[in-house]
Structure 1
Amino acid sequence: MTDLIVVDWGTTSFRAWLVDRETGAVRDTLPDGRGMKELSGTSFRDYCAERLAPWRQGDSPPPVYLAGMVGAPTGWTPAPQPALPLRPEDLAAHMVSAPGLDGAWLLPGVRVDEADPDRVDVMRGEEVQILGAMARSGRRDGVLCLPGTHSKWARVRDGVLTDFTTFMTGEVYGALLGHTLLGQGVSADASPVDDAAFAQGQAEAGRSDAGLLAHAFAARTRRLYRGLAPEAVPSFLSGLVIGEELKGATALGYLPADGVLLVGADALADRYGRALAERGTAATAVPAAEATLAGVLILARLHRPGDTP
């Protein structure tokens, strides 16, 4: 059997692919399913077994590799988060078996845990995308941006993941729009993007070093006195929080002269690409699903079940 199953199981979604281990070709996919927040206890095992049953018939069913938040303490079973620096071989060695489902493995997350007691950071799922994006790009060194609810900026040197930082950009955007004065009377739908308002938000972020707490109120005052239309507020806030993120990433040295790899969904990656271009930084886009598949495939090929803790 040369096939394997890749599952990307997050808080709100379940995605699965049947993949040829040797070539990486996708042989089949399943429709999106239930995310972790809808399940608990043994229901993780039961739901996964039910969804994957069409692909796991016979005496030698393909192995299953599960990435994402399913390995968090609130998921199926906790998978470790070893500390950086880490090579792909290190990640493969920290897989754990999924309780109750033979031949199924949960991929680990990673953490930054430095000697400085005040510096700690975690990720779960993005490390697989980082590995896959680097492989697809053919690079051994690089900086990656992974936009999302909790955006990640990561650095890889000679194939080793050495550092990353989390920005709560997407979550803060949702909170500002949905739970503050700034979003009152405003639709939460930010598509299509209002390019002018998005650019104004970026400019507001760069206006001073006062920070997001000072700049965010401009979404209100510009509505009152600068003609910002209510329907343009989501785009303005999107430009603002992304602009603030890029300021922080710049301060931390994550915007190199040779550009970044941008891993994400098309619409959001496009916004980040435009914002990076405004700062003179080139971005090479890698679709998130392609990065996930490539990363899991690498780890599956490195996996030695007998060596797994």
Structure 2
Amino acid sequence: MNVRTLLAVDWGTSSLRGAWLDARGQAVEERSFARGILTVAPGEFAPAFESCFGDWMQRPDALCLMSGMVGSKQGWLEAPYCTCPAGFEEVAANLAWVKPGRVAIVPGLVCEHDGLPDVMRGEETQVFGALQLLGLQDALLVLPGTHSKWVRVQAGRIQSFATFMTGEFFALLRQHSILSRTLPASDGAFDSEAFDQGVTLALRGNSLLHTAFSTRTLSLFDRLPAAALPSYLSGLVIGEELRAQTLQANTHVVIIGSAALTQRYQNALALRGVPAQRIGSEATWAGLWAIAQTIHPSLLKTV
């Protein structure tokens, strides 16, 4: 890409973030809005974008790349999935252009396991950014969240990934199961000892369908205080996710996400004897910048 300023946008289901990046890819200014795609009516994405970032896009050399659910069927413009293995070149060649040469959406990725498809939108950009920031070509990465993604990268290309509905299962158990009658109204302060206890039980257990009930029985017999139960249940579901992973003794994991959540995963991985390092939201900006550098110049003619 020619030296141009970049508006990097992460437009997800519940939030909208943007960063104005300079010619070196450094964030000059950031903005955040409670304007996830679910708050935008069909046909209103262009006005919503203009109200949030129109002033930044007034520069004639400005380029905007967006990642996340904005490229889904419910978003501004559907960006078809790229098939794994996929790297910067494949992603940059399959951008969905909202405004040719000016505004584009990064495609998500699809891979298959045993004939079943798995997809991601937005996480691929974070992975590419982490690779750039850490100088890696080969890596195992996890992106915790409502739907956690475990991603394997070789030679700078995402080879495969797997989704685990960990955060969603926690929410369902926390709010809608028999366990919710035992748990306090709010999660309160994080209890690392209770969390570790939950992880340890999950790692040596056979199924979350069995271990989850211990959240109720430990409370019933006063073996855990009520305030510690949310942390314990969090440890159970995260531990179940880790139990499903094939992790060798020399495996090193990169965790991408919020500070609080990546810290929990780092603690849980340590209980499996697996070292890990954490990286935050800066991965998204680095990923969009790196993708922008791969776009063929013929696609960047301003119209």
| TM-score normalised by structure 1 residue count | 0.91
1:297 paired with 2:282, answer no
1:230 paired with 2:226, answer yes
State the 1:37 CA deviation.
Answer: 0.8
Aligned-partner Cα distance in 2 for 1:277–1:197: 15
Aligned-partner Cα distance in 2 for 1:226–1:256: 37
State the 1:204 CA deviation.
Answer: 2.0
Q: What are the within-5 Å matches in structure 2 for residues 87-126 of structure 1? A: 87-98=87-98, 103-113=102-112, 116-117=114-115, 119-126=116-123
| Partner residue in 1 for 2:70 | 70
Which residue identity does 2:202 align to in structure 1?
A
Q: Do 1:3 and 1:62's aligned partners in 2 also have CA atoms closer than 8 Å?
A: yes
What SS is found at the alignment partner of 2:42? coil
Cα distance 1:96–1:135, how it changes in 2: closer, same or farther (>3 A)? same
Aligned-partner Cα distance in 2 for 1:112–1:240: 28
Q: Do 2:200 and 2:271's aligned partners in 1 also have CA atoms closer than 8 Å?
A: no
| Partner residue in 1 for 2:8 | 6
State the 1:306 CA deviation.
Answer: 4.6
1:48 paired with 2:40, answer no
Aligned-partner Cα distance in 2 for 1:244–1:159: 29
What SS is found at the alignment partner of 1:257? coil
What SS is found at the alignment partner of 1:296? helix
Identity of aligned pairs, percent?
38
Cα distance 1:301–1:71, how it changes in 2: closer, same or farther (>3 A)? same
Deviations 1:123-162 (A, max 9, x none): 0000011111111111111100111110010101111110
Aligned-partner Cα distance in 2 for 1:50–1:64: 15
State the 1:56 CA deviation.
Answer: 2.0
Which residue identity does 1:279 align to in structure 2?
R
What SS is found at the alignment partner of 2:104? strand
Cα distance 1:254–1:279, how it changes in 2: closer, same or farther (>3 A)? closer
| Partner residue in 2 for 1:197 | 194
Q: Do 2:249 and 2:273's aligned partners in 1 also have CA atoms closer than 8 Å?
A: no
Q: Do 2:101 and 2:299's aligned partners in 1 also have CA atoms closer than 8 Å?
A: no
State the 1:195 CA deviation.
Answer: 1.6
| Partner residue in 2 for 1:245 | 241
Which residue identity does 2:70 align to in structure 1?
V
Aligned-partner Cα distance in 1 for 2:5–2:69: 24
Question: Gaps (5+ residues) in structure 1?
Answer: none
Aligned-partner Cα distance in 1 for 2:283–2:26: 13
Cα distance 1:42–1:306, how it changes in 2: closer, same or farther (>3 A)? farther
Cα distance 1:208–1:29, how it changes in 2: closer, same or farther (>3 A)? closer
Aligned-partner Cα distance in 2 for 1:165–1:188: 32
1:165 paired with 2:162, answer yes
Deviations 1:169-214 (A, max 9, x none): 00100110011110125335334211221122112212322x1111
State the 1:45 CA deviation.
Answer: 1.2
Which residue identity does 1:242 align to in structure 2?
I
What SS is found at the alignment partner of 2:20? strand
Question: Gaps (5+ residues) in structure 2?
Answer: none
RMSD of equivalent CA atoms: 1.9
What SS is found at the alignment partner of 1:153? strand
Which residue identity does 1:294 align to in structure 2?
A
| Partner residue in 2 for 1:155 | 152
Once superposed, which parts of structure 1, at least 4 consecutive aligned residues long, lie more than 3 Å away?
A: 305-308
Q: Do 2:9 and 2:64's aligned partners in 1 also have CA atoms closer than 8 Å?
A: yes
Q: Do 2:125 and 2:288's aligned partners in 1 also have CA atoms closer than 8 Å?
A: yes
1:273 paired with 2:266, answer yes
Q: Do 1:4 and 1:63's aligned partners in 2 also have CA atoms closer than 8 Å?
A: yes
Aligned-partner Cα distance in 2 for 1:205–1:62: 49
What SS is found at the alignment partner of 1:56? helix
Which residue identity does 1:43 align to in structure 2?
E
Cα distance 1:181–1:26, how it changes in 2: closer, same or farther (>3 A)? same
